[in-house]
Amino acid sequence: MGQLNLILVGPPGAGKGTQADRLRGDFDLPYYATGDILRAAVKEESELGREAKAYMDKGDLVPDALICKVIMERVDSTEAADGFLLDGFPRTQGQADVLNDALERRGRKLTAALQIDVPDEEVIRRLSGRRTCVKNGHNYHVEFDPPKNEGVCDQDGSRLIQRDDDKPETVRHRLDVFHEQTKPLVDYYEKKGLLRHFDGERPPGEVHAHIRATLATLQLEEKL
């Protein structure tokens, strides 16, 4: 079987984390979320981590080339020899070009960009309904997973709050930024024939089954 080099694309709240967990179990792929990698590199105080921290401390965006270097450190590790799953990178066409060039230099290529599609109103419904307890961070949802007593955590009795980034106006802004950044990226992978769409409004198990079937087809095509 060839490598499975995958990226996950989709708005916040689309269920990328849920699908990533299932794909990791299916194919034993390492999962790299950009934010986690940057924080880990800074914590490890690697040379790239110190360089990234200098930008982050000033509140500046970490340059594409530097983010890609940090990502490629992981891609070059032995755990990613048979493939990887990227989430949150690339975010722009510029980053996609940098990643493509870096993979080509290593004789590797992207297998597919897996886009989980969810309408904006559904994203707002999912995210704005989230509630978190102030004491231990237990999570609830007013519609899908409500507490027994409104506004009170079942587990420790502390107050439940709506995080600022889950407020509807904030979610709308996050979606505007996502669409603005991601449309060129989606077009980029569409033209390369790498984009695969999945209906994120379907139950997670059905989305997972569709992704697995798609990847099985791609693996079969590679053998022919």
Active site residues: 16, 91, 130, 163, 174
CA dihedral 28, 34, 37, 38 (to 10 degrees): 180
Q: Which two tokens stand for residue 63?
A: 């340059």
Alpha-carbon distance of 5 to 26, in angstroms, equals 14
Helix, coil or strand: residue 160 = strand
| Measured CA distances, 52 to 55, 61, 70 (Å) | 5, 9, 9
Alpha-carbon distance of 154 to 90, in angstroms, equals 39
- Report whether 10 contacts 20 (CB < 8 A): no
- Report whether 195 contacts 185 (CB < 8 A): no
Strand pairing report for 83-87 and 4-9: parallel
| Rounded (5°) CA angle 144-35-140 | 15
Q: Mapped to the 3 state alphabet, what secondary structure does 60-79 carry?
A: CCCCHHHHHHHHHHHHCCHH
